Amino acid sequence: MYTEFKNKCAEICFKVGEFQLQNFGKIAQGQIEDKGINQLVSFVDVESEKMLVAFLAELIPNCGFITEENTVESVQNKEWIWVIDPLDGTTNFLHGLPAFSISVGLLHQGTPVAGVVYAPYWGEMFTAAKNAGAFLNDQPIYVSETAALKSSLIATGFPYYQFQNMPEYLEALKELMQNTHGLRRMGSAAIDLAYTACGRFDGFYESGLSSWDIAAGVLLVQEAGGVVTDFAGGDNYLFGNTILASSKSIYPSFQSIIKKHLT
């Protein structure tokens, strides 16, 4: 059942991705709105979400939704809930950078059971279903086999509107810079998690995210053999404020640094 939902969700994400590519590089400044400091949105975000909601509502009648652009009433007391970020990496998209994605996760009784992260520009469809593995364009993927943190490549996101913990964030950044192969910032948490799932990144951490940023990605990492927790090592990552994801081998040393500075 979960695999069927995943496959059908991937089909609509592909169609929405075609719409986004048609508009990529064509958004005028006057078509961009600012929802808050450094939180941009365009008609592409809104129309993409409407398309996703319309299809997914037919796929599972009487389901609930949690969406970024609020095109449908948020309903969280349903057995089945779709968690949607129609365009993760909006700022990249509006600046002509191809690192943007569609992220759709399905919760069953509060647990992620299916997830799709689609990067349209690169034609990469990441999918996962609970207890059925994770895939990139239908090929199985797994987290990296890097044995030590010192040999790892880590992804993160920079604070862009919550600046109160900047000193602690910079301290963690400094220690990771000195104890890894480096850090990368893609600008899309969904892509960061997908890349962690397929081993391109060895780990990812960020704070201040919403459930729609990560609902699909966390399942990708878990089904690819990785670990997902909050900064403190607990399980309050989906609706909490922090997330850390990595391979099992580097998790202890990685989480130790994050916990020391950011909890």
Q: Where are the beta strands (DSSP E) in 79-231?
A: 80-88, 101-108, 111-119, 124-129, 134-136, 139-140, 153-156, 182-184, 203-207, 227-229
The amino acid present at 163, given as its one-letter code, is F
Strand partners, 249: none
Task: Write the pLDDT tens digit of every residue in 8-43.
Answer: 999 999 999 999 999 887 765 655 555 544 455 678
Instruction: Give one word for 54, left, alpha or beta, with left for phi > 0 and alpha for psi -120 to 50.
Output: alpha
pTM above 0.85, yes or no: yes
Domain 2-140 CATH (choose: 3.90.550.10, 3.30.540.10, 3.30.465.10, 3.90.1150.10): 3.30.540.10
CATH of domain 149-262: 3.40.190.80
Please check the confidence at residue 126 and state whether its pLDDT lies above 60: yes
Q: Dump pLDDT digits (tens) for 51-61.
A: 999 999 999 99
pLDDT of 230 higher than 60: yes
Domain boundaries, the chain: 2-140, 149-262
Torsion from C-alpha of 143, 17, 43, 33, nearest 10 degrees: 30
Q: Evaluate if residue 71 carries a pLDDT over 70.
A: yes
Does the pLDDT value for residue 161 go beyond 70?
no
CA separation, residue 59 to residues 74, 80, 86 (Å)? 18, 11, 17
Q: What is the mean pLDDT of residues 100-127?
A: 97
